[in-house]
Amino acid sequence: MKQNFKLIVSYDGTRFFGWEHQPTTDMTIQGKLESVLTRMTGLPEDKPVTVIGAGRTDAGVHARAMTCNVLLDTDMTPDEIQAYMNQYLPEDISVNEVKLAADRFHSRFKATGKTYRYSLWYGATKPVFDRKYVAVLDKAPNLELMREAAELMTGTHDYKCFCGNPKMKKSTVRTVDSINIETKGNYIRIYFHGNGFLQNMVRIMTGTLLAVGNGEIKPSDIPAIIESKNRQNAGPTAPPHGLCLMKVDY
């Protein structure tokens, strides 16, 4: 009998083409998880296990705690499933937790919020050991202007201007509860929390905040940018490697 399992997964997205399974490559997070679980349960490759993720991170984006769920017909315990997966998954993917879940649990539909972190670096030196996880800035941005703009980005809005998919047909209305900018040494970290995010949304919001910090956009321009619903009015899309999914709320 199939049972629903909830998984918490961490991954370094550097060499992967994002979360979502793709027919042309096996280098996706979902694809790697499904491949190992299909082998574990003895299913044929043309009828693989389907892993459902709480979101779809882009190519090069990382995750500390991606939640996913999967229906499995197995006698193995959650601990045995975790041990098997970590034995056969590549070293840049880790299954941190496996638990039995309610039959109705769905990692994407039941999610109530997500926290993303975007990491930046500015200084005379180089972040040699963190270079895959931070975006390096050419100059120091004005953090006070960025915080002022961040306040104006929060709330419930139609965030179409921060969506990287011009053909988006579903609603682009989202609630962003908070955007916090923290500093420590050479690091600038921006934390975004909301009920959901559009494709490239956090990266575009980060690029827009940096444009404000560099004097290219005024904080007072943010409401008009959001109201325009025009991607061209927002800032550039920040590089993927600075972004990390930190937590999914239920």
Which amino acids are annotated catalytic?
A: 58
Maximal CA-CA distance, the chain: 60
Residue whose pair of structure tokens reads 């120091």 in the numeric block: 140
Q: From CA 64, how far away is CA 58, in angstroms rounded?
A: 14
* Number of neighbouring beta carbons within 10 Å of residue 49: 19
Q: From CA 195, how far away is CA 100, in angstroms rounded?
A: 25
